[in-house]
């Protein structure tokens, strides 16, 4: 159980994903970067799709993976959902 004040998160910044996307783009690859909310962005003209939830990230991947030769994931997706939450009084 989790109370109404606490939340589950991680410290992943998204920087590694942006760096990898840039490196592949600089080598001539067509890159689509699907990322969570991050202060980091790619330096190049990489197509970036921002996802605000694990579900949205999954849908974005499913919508863009067809025709891909490579899929690389560095995302630290928080996909844990507590069975129940305490109600705030």
Query: 33 with 21: CB under 8 angstroms?
Result: yes
> Alpha-carbon distance 31 to 45, whole Å?
9
- Annotated catalytic sites, by residue? 10
Pair of tokens at residue 77: 């997706």
């Amino acid at each position: 159980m989790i109370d109404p004040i606490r939340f589950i998160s991680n410290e992943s910044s998204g920087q590694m994903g942006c760096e990898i996307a840039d490196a592949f783009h600089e080598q001539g690859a067509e890159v689509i970067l699907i990322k969570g909310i991050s202060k980091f962005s790619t330096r190049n003209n990489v197509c970036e799709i921002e996802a605000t939830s694990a579900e949205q990230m999954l849908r974005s991947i499913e919508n863009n993976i067809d025709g891909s030769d490579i899929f690389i994931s560095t995302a630290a997706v928080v996909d844990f959902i507590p069975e129940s939450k305490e109600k705030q009084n």
